[in-house]
C-alpha cells in the first residue's frame, strides 16, 4: 500500500508485509524487477520519491 511513482515514471515504491512487519519495496514497471529497500521489524510506511 501507499505507492508513489518515481519522477521518471519507471519505478513504483510501496509498502508490503504482514503481522506488524512492513518493509519498503520498489518495482520497475517495464522489467518487473522488484527490489526490497528495507528489512527491519516494525513498520516502514509511506515512501515518497524526492525530485
> Residue 35 above 90 pLDDT?
yes
1-30 confidence digits (pLDDT tens): 889 999 999 999 999 999 889 999 999 999
| pLDDT given for residue 27 in this prediction | 98
For 24, counting Cβ atoms within 10 Å of its Cβ (0-12 exposed, 13-18 middle, 19+ buried), the class is buried
Whether the Cβ atoms of residue 44 and residue 1 lie closer than 8 Å to each other: no
| pLDDT given for residue 32 in this prediction | 98
> Residue 37 above 90 pLDDT?
yes
pTM > 0.75: yes or no: yes
> Residue 51 above 90 pLDDT?
no
Quickly list DSSP for 23-44: EEEEEETTT--EEE----SSB-
| pLDDT given for residue 1 in this prediction | 82
Amino acid at each position: 500500500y501507499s505507492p508513489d511513482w518515481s519522477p521518471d515514471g519507471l519505478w513504483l515504491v510501496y509498502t508490503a508485509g504482514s503481522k506488524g512487519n512492513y518493509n519498503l519495496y520498489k518495482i520497475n514497471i517495464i522489467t518487473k524487477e522488484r527490489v526490497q529497500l528495507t528489512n527491519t521489524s516494525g513498520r516502514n510506511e509511506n515512501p515518497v520519491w524526492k525530485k
